[in-house]
Structure 1
Amino acid sequence: MAIQRDILGIGRRPETDEGPNVEEYNQIDPHILACFPPDRYPVDLYRWREDIQTLRPVYRAGCEVDRRLRERVLAMSEQGALFFSRNQIAQYAACVACHLDTALEDPNLTWDEKALVFVGELTRRQDEFFGNPMSRELESLTRALSDLCVHLVEDSRRMSVVAHHLHRDLAPERRRINGSLMALAVYLHLHRGEILLEVLETVALGFFVYDIGMVRVSPMMIARPNQLTPREQRAMREHPRLGLDILSRLNLTRPEIREPVSQHHERLNGTGYPGGLSGGAIGHLGRIAAVADSYSAMVTGRAMRQGLEPIHAAAELVGNERHYDQTVCRALVRFLQTVPSTLEPS
């Protein structure tokens, strides 16, 4: 039955119904409330009055919260009587995003909204690890990846929604997270129907640290818009080996983790680096990382050129069989066709 409105514009259900319209208002439990900033809440709050079957406003977003109001709101939440409007779901999701476990268990969020939370949180934790590649940061990143892998094993099609959010922001600072998640997406597409959680978790970590050696390269060299000198190019080509050194220091010895790090710049015809590997010497995960890294670079804008449209980047990779595994490239194209609007030129 349709929700009615009172003079304040607050929803009211007909008396024959049992509660507020869950499609327009959602309950806030104490665990979610604990994620809110204590001094100012991010959304309007409403109290469900059981006696008159009506939602009544109790707080407007942005107003200061004193101790008395905080106690009242907590009591309403504990009684199951505190609600917010889904018109403010973006503000709500942004607030709970930094509490990943809480956000993933929140029935108020759709998978599209949870995917956005994942992208934001994985970006943050990956950046923290690259900024300080130590055990604590690695553990934080690994936990978030494990949560993502659980959801993807349940339904690998969810990866298309994640990729949709990636393609909405192709800024240079997002190239790392975009390449990591696209590598994971291609792997899932190639192995759909035969994914084991423990294997996927290890593979995902390898894709998320594949470019870790870049932290040992001068930031000035990375940011330079003009071409590098031969000496600088030689230094840049050492970053996969430097990445392996970092993995060894962290006791990351699994081949599924080390292969993407060491081989994401190798090419099938032997023209890549650092080892000049060719053909069968390049592993399956190395080939996936190479395609995903190149794709991410091609769709990312730079100072000297704009990024390519996804459809054009994918087409170039498919046509370059001397450098890239064509089975992997075609899997990328097939996956992109499942992502909303990805292959539509803007």
Structure 2
Amino acid sequence: MSAKARMDVPEGLNEEFYQISSDILQSFNKFRPPLDIFIFKEDVGRVAPYYKVGERLSKERIDMLAELVKEGLIFVSRKDHPVYVKHIAYQLDLVLVDRNLKEREIADIFLEALTMRLGEFFDQPVPVVKEKVWSDLMVLTEYLWNDPYRIKALARRLHKEHSLARHSVNCGILGLNMFIHQKSDSFAKGEVTRNHFNRLTAGLFFHDLGMTKIPIFIREKPKPLTTDERSKIDKHPMLGFEMLGKLDLKYKEIEACVMEHHERLTGKGYPQKKSGRDISSIGRLIAAVDSYCAMITKRPNAEAIDPKKAAALIAQDKGYDPEITRGIQSWALTLK
């Protein structure tokens, strides 16, 4: 079969199907793709089954499939979106080449991928695992660098159940949402550098790195902590800071997130008891976001607070930067 120009998706078809590219096809298991595959029959203007999960493709059908993909005739059903999300999550850079994914679908994939990668990293915080997370975070920054306001779809998908990885993803996404909103003019003028954006992103997602050194039975204890347990928890910013050098993460943006996310404008935070403008702008950002994201998820020792109520509560606390808490309040009011 000779290759021809890639077919445009027929009007209405892309509401029910993804038109897959060669890059996506190559990411599938060659003989047993993870989801049903359909072919567009040009003579009748409809899709028809080509492969069903559970079957095994022959060498001939594999070769034919590759040619059909080049011609733009191969689709997968949007009903299989959950399967597609889990598949792409393992090869996140594919979201940058799949032009048929919708913004909300890409947001689902990022949430799945980053939560998975951070969970792996927090279970094993060593350089080789960190590199995998870093790679995925750079896919995110590439995606947002081309259009920063894509963060809005992600910010509508924050996790509702707490875990260290889920909390970190929530903080990373909401932190970026607040930063992009605050710096909209700077983005438009090209005043935000790519390196700064990359490192800020990593810092927001890695701010709780030191918690990996706290025993899980303390982190997830359903009852009030003892004085000794509280003391251990309070050491996590310093523990995280000590880990940065071993992980090749010694950047000022990441250091600020790790060291300052529990500092308060009133001087009543920790570990350095900084106050006011002694706390960096990044530190003030992650401090408010970290507390807010903890409040809106169901934790072992507390129920989730309604996002709008949590935003109002944090805005009343003089320990947080009022410009940031106003931004969180404005964002929360947009939620349904």
TM-score range, shorter chain: 0.7 to 0.9
- What corresponds to 1:256 in structure 2? 253
* Cα drift, residue 329 of structure 1: 0.6
Distance verdict in 2 for CA 1:29–1:150, change over 3 Å: closer
Segments of 5+ residues of structure 1 without an aligned counterpart are 1-16, 342-346
Segments of 5+ residues of structure 2 without an aligned counterpart are 1-6
* Cα drift, residue 288 of structure 1: 1.0
- What corresponds to 1:170 in structure 2? 160
* Cα drift, residue 27 of structure 1: 2.9
Supply the distance in 1 between the matched residues of 2:138 and 2:217 (Cα, whole angstroms). Answer: 34
TM-score, normalisation: structure 1: 0.84
- Map 1:193-212; keep pairs closer than 5 Å: 193-195=185-187, 196=192, 197-212=194-209
Instruction: Report the RMSD for the aligned CA atoms in angstroms.
Output: 2.4
Supply the distance in 1 between the matched residues of 2:8 and 2:93 (Cα, whole angstroms). Answer: 30
Contact in 2 for aligned 1:20/1:55 (Cα 8 Å): no
Supply the distance in 1 between the matched residues of 2:291 and 2:258 (Cα, whole angstroms). Answer: 14
Task: Give the % identical residues.
Answer: 31
- What corresponds to 2:266 in structure 1? 269
* Cα drift, residue 87 of structure 1: 4.1
Residues 205-235 of structure 1 deviation map (CA, whole Å, 9 limit, x = unaligned): 1111111011111212112222222222222
Supply the distance in 1 between the matched residues of 2:8 and 2:229 (Cα, whole angstroms). Answer: 69
Distance verdict in 2 for CA 1:280–1:141, change over 3 Å: same
> Is the partner of 1:165 in helix, strand or coil?
coil
Residues 114-133 of structure 1 deviation map (CA, whole Å, 9 limit, x = unaligned): 11111111112222222222
Choose from 93, 100, 113 the match for 2:105.
Answer: 113
Choose from 143, 153, 159 the match for 1:161.
Answer: 153
Residues 70-114 of structure 1 deviation map (CA, whole Å, 9 limit, x = unaligned): 344334324443233444444334333322112221012011111
Q: Which moved more, 1:264-273 or 1:222-231?
A: 222-231
Distance verdict in 2 for CA 1:62–1:143, change over 3 Å: same
- What corresponds to 2:330 in structure 1? 334
- What corresponds to 2:4 in structure 1? none
Choose from 234, 237, 248 the match for 2:234.
Answer: 237
Choose from 166, 175, 178 the match for 1:183.
Answer: 175
> Is the partner of 2:93 in helix, strand or coil?
helix
- Code of the residue aligned with 2:103 in structure 1: it is W
Aligned length: 321
Residues 54-73 of structure 1 deviation map (CA, whole Å, 9 limit, x = unaligned): 54432223434444443443
* Structure number with bigger Rg: 1
Contact in 1 for aligned 2:168/2:207 (Cα 8 Å): no
- What corresponds to 2:120 in structure 1? 128
- Code of the residue aligned with 2:327 in structure 1: it is A
Choose from 295, 298, 301 the match for 2:295.
Answer: 298
1:95 aligns with 2:87: yes
Distance verdict in 2 for CA 1:108–1:90, change over 3 Å: farther
Q: Which moved more, 1:281-290 or 1:226-235?
A: 226-235
Choose from 180, 184, 196 the match for 1:192.
Answer: 184
- What corresponds to 1:223 in structure 2? 220
